[in-house]
């Protein structure tokens, strides 16, 4: 048996690499930290590719459109690859913020600070919507040494206090990217 799956999934993560972000996910009823990787590059063949492993490709397309329209990232001509190392399939909407941050990090060639973890659903207007089990997610991040958690403002409250992890609530995807890349 595996004592701590989060440690296992993050064991080979390279910190300070553009396009690498830690997601606070929920698998069943258990919190788990996963790496989300993204690679953005100029499309060579005229049609931009959207390739995913562990993430729904249509969800990625939606997030890329939101990033373009609501956060000003020009991704329409770029190839975008997103991967969840370890073979896990992530279906929960709370993965949106981590995916968007990984894409923005790769696009800007600027790493997300390695002690930051994220979660939150992104709506079509660019809003970051609350997610279930916020307290479990933040506690798992804090137990693994993460010092900052970017999450929906709607989840900031008593159930995430006392973890030792600085909680930063955001209302929009633009706010989240501003908090990560300032």
* Mean pLDDT, rounded, for 95-102: 98
Mean pLDDT in the chain?
A: 93
* Mean pLDDT, rounded, for 171-181: 97
* Mean pLDDT, rounded, for 135-142: 94
pLDDT of res. 146: 95
How far is residue 162's CA from residue 40's CA, in Å, rounded to a whole number? 37
Helix axes 57-71, 96-108, angle to 10 degrees: 60
How far is residue 135's CA from residue 141's CA, in Å, rounded to a whole number? 10
Percentage of residues of the chain with pLDDT beyond 90:
79
pLDDT of res. 150: 97
- Give the pair of three-digit tokens for residue 96: 């949106």
pLDDT of res. 164: 84
Q: Is pLDDT at 161 greater than 80 in this prediction?
A: no
Sign of CA dihedral 143, 145, 147, 149: negative
pLDDT of res. 1: 59
Q: Is pLDDT at 152 greater than 80 in this prediction?
A: yes
Sign of CA dihedral 118, 8, 4, 93: positive
How far is residue 96's CA from residue 118's CA, in Å, rounded to a whole number? 9
Q: Is pLDDT at 12 greater than 90 in this prediction?
A: no
Nearest residue to 37 (alpha-carbon basis) of 49, 50, 25, 54? 54
Q: Is pLDDT at 46 greater than 80 in this prediction?
A: no
How far is residue 157's CA from residue 28's CA, in Å, rounded to a whole number? 23
* Mean pLDDT, rounded, for 37-43: 92
Residues 6+ apart with CB under 8 A from 110: 18, 181
How far is residue 141's CA from residue 168's CA, in Å, rounded to a whole number? 13
How far is residue 1's CA from residue 38's CA, in Å, rounded to a whole number? 30
pLDDT band at 143 (very low <50, low <70, confident <90, very high): very high
Nearest residue to 84 (alpha-carbon basis) of 31, 33, 118, 156? 33
Q: Is pLDDT at 79 greater than 80 in this prediction?
A: yes
Sign of CA dihedral 154, 157, 159, 164: positive
pLDDT band at 55 (very low <50, low <70, confident <90, very high): very high
CB 152 within 8 A of CB 131: yes
What pTM does this model have?
Answer: 0.95
pLDDT of res. 2: 59
Q: Is pLDDT at 158 greater than 70 in this prediction?
A: no
């Amino acid at each position: 048996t595996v004592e701590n799956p989060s440690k296992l999934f993050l064991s080979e993560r390279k910190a300070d690499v553009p396009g690498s972000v830690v997601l606070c996910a929920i698998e069943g009823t258990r919190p788990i930290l996963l790496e989300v990787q993204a690679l953005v590059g100029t499309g060579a063949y005229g049609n931009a590719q959207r390739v995913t492993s562990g993430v729904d490709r249509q969800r990625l397309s939606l997030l890329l459109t939101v990033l373009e329209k609501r956060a000003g990232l020009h991704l329409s001509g770029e190839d975008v690859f997103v991967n969840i190392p370890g073979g896990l399939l992530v279906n929960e909407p709370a993965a949106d913020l981590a995916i968007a941050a990984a894409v923005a990090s790769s696009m800007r060639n600027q790493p997300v600070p390695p002690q930051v973890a994220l979660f939150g659903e992104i709506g079509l207007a660019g809003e970051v919507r609350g997610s279930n089990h916020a307290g479990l997610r933040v506690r798992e991040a804090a137990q693994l040494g993460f010092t900052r958690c970017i999450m929906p403002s709607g989840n900031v409250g008593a159930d995430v206090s006392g973890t030792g992890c600085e909680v930063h609530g955001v209302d929009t995807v633009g706010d989240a990217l501003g908090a990560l890349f300032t």
